[in-house]
Amino acid sequence: MKLQTIIIGAGVSGLLLADELSKSGVDSFILEKSRGVGGRMATKRIQDFSFDQGAPFFTARDPRFVEKVNDWKRQEVVEAWNFSSLDCWRGSPTMNAVAKYLAQGKTVRRECKVSTISQNQEGWVLKTDEGEFIECGRLLITVPIPQALVLLKSERALLNSEVLERLEEVQYEPCLAGCFLLRGGSEIPETGVVEKDDFFSWISDQTAQEGKDRLHSKIVVHAPGDWSLKNYAMPEEELLAIFENRLKPWIGNGMILEKRLHRWKFARVINPYSELFYLNREGTLGMAGDGFGGAKVEGAALSGMALARAIVENRE
Ligand SMILES: Cc1cc2nc3c(=O)[nH]c(=O)nc-3n(C[C@H](O)[C@H](O)[C@H](O)COP(=O)(O)OP(=O)(O)OC[C@H]3O[C@@H](n4cnc5c(N)ncnc54)[C@H](O)[C@@H]3O)c2cc1C
């Protein structure tokens, strides 16, 4: 029997899951709560400038993921970024280029937030924030695990109690991120990255390679996970003031034109689930994402691809 497949989430795991399924002849439909695709591989616009405010780069080790990255390189949606001894990649021109490329030819319904999931005799019933009901036979969830468990609230009993217990144990750390648009150049090295700073876990300037005489600088900072957790609820203005103060040595003569804060509640998974994905015995409920594959773009990608393989094998 052909099941209508819905994927919740258009991050890298959901998009690769849809991509791999479609290559095996399984159509799917993605529901995404945001206006854009990419999830935590996010690019934000401030005035006419784009800032990668989520994952700034990624690495590729597993041959299956390396193959994907090589394809993205051929399509010119990623480029090597040699700021460290690791082989690092970033989206080109911005991080969300990868997701935009993967979303081509897929059905992605944006600004559609799923608020509850329930079951009827035919399968799953998703209720959206707008009050719409969407039905499907196979449901694949690629949002961070704690958010998936909230969605599945009334249906948790369908999960085996041991699986549920293991899912409930999975924890993420938050990240408070700041974007600063400067007039003039910054003091950030030409690589675009400050690798050692006594406060931030990440500082980058996506315009650093353009030299000191450039007209603008685009600085992104990430506070460390433990600090972000402790100060997560602090008012935005206070957080931005702290960031600005800590950033002073790297701003130089640049003048801050605009600053924005983003609170990533589930930035990185700390203790992923012990398997690459979850799929129930009937093949009608699946979960993937970095909560399964590990705290990186690569982990999320491998998880989405592995779930797709399992569904295809389950069908055969
Ligand atoms: C600040 C930060 C720094 C990072 N640094 C790095 C790094 O240097 N290197 C690295 O490899 N990784 C890094 N990561 C981690 C990496 O970004 C993630 O592991 C990866 O992008 C997760 O992909 P995903 O598909 O599992 O989840 P997501 O990207 O979170 O995708 C889930 C999608 O589901 C959508 N969604 C959620 N709830 C709903 C709902 N109810 N209805 C509809 N849609 C919904 C979301 O909007 C999102 O688009 C970083 C992440 C952050 C936040």
The tokens of 94 are what?
């911005």
Q: What is the C-alpha to C-alpha distance for residues 113 and 30, in angstroms, rounded to an integer?
A: 11
Q: Kindly state whether residues 229 and 245 are assigned to the same domain.
A: yes
For residue 39, is it left (φ>0), alpha (ψ between -120 and 50) or beta? left
Segment 234-276, tens digit of pLDDT: 999 999 999 999 999 999 888 999 999 999 999 999 999 999 9
Domain count, the chain: 2
Q: Kindly state whether residues 200 and 95 are assigned to the same domain.
A: no
Segment 98-119, tens digit of pLDDT: 999 999 999 999 999 999 999 9
Q: Kindly state whether residues 294 and 261 are assigned to the same domain.
A: no
Ligand 1 pocket test: pick from 17, 31, 40 the residue with the most ligand atoms within 8 Å of its Cβ: 40
130-144, 186-200, 220-234: segment of lowest average pLDDT = 186-200
Q: Which atom of ligand 1 is nearest to the CA of 53?
A: 1
Q: Is the peptide bond before 272 cis (omega within 30 degrees of 0)?
A: no
Q: Mean pLDDT of all residues in the chain?
A: 94
DSSP element (H, E) containing 114:
strand 114-119
Q: Kindly state whether residues 165 and 212 are assigned to the same domain.
A: no
Any atom of ligand 1 within 6 Å of the Cβ of 296:
yes
Ligand 1 pocket test: pick from 143, 153, 201 the residue with the most ligand atoms within 8 Å of its Cβ: 143
Q: Kindly state whether residues 32 and 113 are assigned to the same domain.
A: yes
Any atom of ligand 1 within 6 Å of the Cβ of 185:
no
Segment 60-93, tens digit of pLDDT: 999 999 999 999 999 999 999 988 878 899 999 9
Q: Kindly state whether residues 199 and 80 are assigned to the same domain.
A: no
Q: What is the pLDDT of residue 1?
A: 52
pTM for this predicted structure: 0.96
Any atom of ligand 1 within 6 Å of the Cβ of 95:
no
Secondary structure of residue 175 in the 3-state scheme: strand
- Domain interval for residue 195: 172-269
Average pLDDT estimate for 189-201: 91
Q: What is the pLDDT of residue 153?
A: 83
Q: Kindly state whether residues 160 and 203 are assigned to the same domain.
A: no
Any atom of ligand 1 within 6 Å of the Cβ of 69:
no
Residue 30's nearest CA partner among 105, 108, 117, 102 is 108
Q: Kindly state whether residues 16 and 94 are assigned to the same domain.
A: yes
Q: What is the C-alpha to C-alpha distance for residues 155 and 159, in angstroms, rounded to an integer?
A: 8
CATH number for the domain that contains residue 85: 3.50.50.60
8-12, 121-125, 151-155, 235-239: segment of lowest average pLDDT = 151-155
Q: Kindly state whether residues 259 and 284 are assigned to the same domain.
A: no
Q: Kindly state whether residues 12 and 110 are assigned to the same domain.
A: yes
Segment 130-146, tens digit of pLDDT: 999 999 999 999 999 99
Contacts of 22 (CB under 8 A, 6+ apart): 28, 105, 106
Q: Kindly state whether residues 164 and 34 are assigned to the same domain.
A: yes
The tokens of 137 are what?
């036979």
